[in-house]
Amino acid sequence: MALAEPSTLDEDTAAISYNVPHLVFEKNLQPISYSENDSRRALNALKHDALIQHAALRSEIAFVQDLESSTVLYQKNSDAVRPIASISKLMTALVVAESGLPMDEVLEIIDEDVDRVKHSSSRLSVGSKLNRADMMHLALMSSENRAAHALGRNYPGGMPAFVRAMNDKARALGMRNTRFVEPTGLSSDNVASPRDLVKLLTATSQHARIQQYTTNDQYSVQPVRGRQLVFNNTNRLVKNANWDIQVSKTGFINEAGECLVMLTKIEDREVAIVLLNSSGRYSRIGDAVRIRDLVEKSNGLAML
């Protein structure tokens, strides 16, 4: 004897009908035979599920997608909308890159660019002067908040117009669950979904300047006469010869946790990786390594 499935009526009616026994008679049942290919696919599916369980990521949110086929290779809480911290700077750079503003124009760090909310540190003192290209370089590579703020402030129409341009671009890219209120990511009101961030990664990958700036491991500038400063990339994986990274950005504020997004090649497969709200300073890097291992092993299973 088998129980009937709940009806599509209201919940109370469905609950009553679910408890009423209903006889089901077997009729014309035939034994099922599986081909060797079916068995192999079933075994590979089980192995793939085991690999996913083994990944044991420390990030609250993870999303991995093959960009050529659009196949989702891994997802964890992929529909969540969360603060994205300095990942916001990818959109800041995209708006600047497409603005047509002269990249050699010199911008100055002023008191307005100092973070009065999170009190984050900066190596660019008030009075520092760099051209727009260098400001973008430091904002992307070293997540320099004052540089990112200066880029927005020096946009035609000022900061309100820049933030409006960020949100307009998000809508144009189909980023339906994204909102920006400022260009640095210091505000927890800058939010997005993992799927939206893949769209942002794809858009920024079309700009050679953004690709270069996000993946340089080191860059020197002279913001004050006679003072040379060396900045490093906040993503140490760009220094690893085993990784082929096209676009990269890290982020952190307390509300967002440790974040990392990358567009990279894994065994000639172009893959977008989004990791949000990871716990522990190096956990996002560890998760990226675990995801790479997962994708490589999944590729191996597909060839069996």
Known binding site for substrate: residues? Answer: 249
Query: Looking up tokens 């008191």, which residue turns up?
Result: 111
76 in active site: no
Catalytic one among 76, 88, 89, 128?
A: 89
- Residue positions forming the annotated binding site: 249
86 in active site: yes
Catalytic one among 59, 142, 143, 248?
A: 143
Catalytic one among 86, 193, 283, 298?
A: 86
Can you tell me whether residue 144 is helix, strand or coil? coil
Find out whether 89 and 184 touch, Cβ atoms under 8 Å. yes
Q: Closest by alpha carbon to 86, among 245, 253, 202?
A: 253
Residues in contact with 156: Cβ distance below 8 Å, sequence separation at least 6, in sequence order: 99, 101
Give the span between the Cα atoms of 254 and 65, in whole angstroms.
27
Q: How many residues does the chain have?
A: 304
89 in active site: yes
Q: Which amino acid is residue 298, in one-letter code? A: S
Find out whether 58 and 283 touch, Cβ atoms under 8 Å. yes
Q: Closest by alpha carbon to 289, among 65, 63, 57, 85?
A: 57
Give the span between the Cα atoms of 112 and 126, in whole angstroms.
9
Strands 129-131 and 106-108: antiparallel
Which residues belong to the active site? 86, 89, 143
